[in-house]
Amino acid sequence: MDLRATPGMSRFKALYLELSACRRCPRLVAWREEVGRKKRRAYQNETYWARPVPGFGDPRARLLIFGLAPGAHGSNRTGRMFTGDASGDFLYPALWRAGLASQPLAKDRDDGLELYGVYVTAAVRCAPPGNRPTREEFAACSLWTERELAMLPQLRVYLALGRLAHDALLEHHGLIKARFPFAHGAEHTLPNGRVLLDSYHVSRQNTQTGRLTETMFDAVVERAKALAGLG
């Protein structure tokens, strides 16, 4: 694949191509590629993306959904955030119920899914071992966060999925975490005027144990939708 930007290419596509070639974090590069080679038995016949995963959604988004990192056999396989695993199977139906997505399922990059007023990305763009990025990896990926958010000037609301995503957004803005404590459903108005809204992460660990239910998450999404002025 030629990963060089060309004249006339959209800013988003150019950024995604550049991101896809990123190898700044040796541990993450080694892990994402190892997973892509070994694969999970159910996906043996698939070609894994096994590269940094770009954001996805509406370039005019008012609502940013900010997760932790791609799943090893989810986004690291499909190449689209929150696609191909249990987290996406919980997130995208909720966006569809709220009228923010064209369909409830997200299977791969070519399934036709569109988001309305919403953009989805994560604090770390590569699948980390044990789903635990290091502080250095968060810091290295903050460059991509800065560039991606700069291309979304209409954002009004950040919906952070989990404490680590919440903390990463605060660190990105140079804010003291103690002043903006994480709690499911908490709202924080940031100095830039945007609202940081919190939710437990949509991971299988939370959704299958009942810590995060559809009703709980739907309520947070509806609040985010209202704050963002999406109807």
CATH number of 11-228: 3.40.470.10
Please name the residue that has the structure tokens 């903050």.
142
The span from the CA of 93 to the CA of 101, in Å, is: 8
SS (H, E, C) the chain: CCCCCCCCCCHHHHHHHHHHCCCCCHHHHHHHHHHHHHCCHHHCCCCCCCCCCCCEECCCCCEEEEECCCCCCCHHHHCCCCCCCHHHHHHHHHHHHCCCECCCCCCCCCCCCCECCEEEEECCCCCCHHHCCCHHHHHHHHHHHHHHHHCCCCCCEEEEECHHHHHHHHHHCCCCHHHCCCCCCCEEECCCCCEEEEECCCCHHHHCCCCCCHHHHHHHHHHHHHHHCCC
Give CA–CA dist 45/169, Å, rounded. Answer: 37
Amino acid at 68: L
At residue 200, the pLDDT reads 98
What CA–CA distance (Å, rounded) separates 133 from 167? Answer: 13
pLDDT for the residue 137: 98
The pairing of beta strand 187-189 with beta strand 118-122 = unpaired
* Amino acid code (one letter) for 25: C
- Residue 8: predicted pLDDT: 46
pLDDT in 10s for each residue of the chain, 231 residues: 333 444 445 889 999 999 999 999 999 999 999 999 999 999 999 999 999 999 999 999 999 999 999 999 999 999 999 999 999 999 999 999 999 999 999 999 999 999 999 999 999 999 999 999 999 999 999 999 999 999 999 999 999 999 999 999 999 999 999 999 999 999 999 999 999 999 999 999 999 999 999 999 999 999 999 999 998
Is the pTM higher than 0.85? The answer reads: yes
Q: What is the pLDDT of residue 7?
A: 43
Query: From CA 168, how far away is CA 223, in angstroms rounded?
Result: 22
What does the domain layout of the chain look like in residue ranges?
A: 11-228
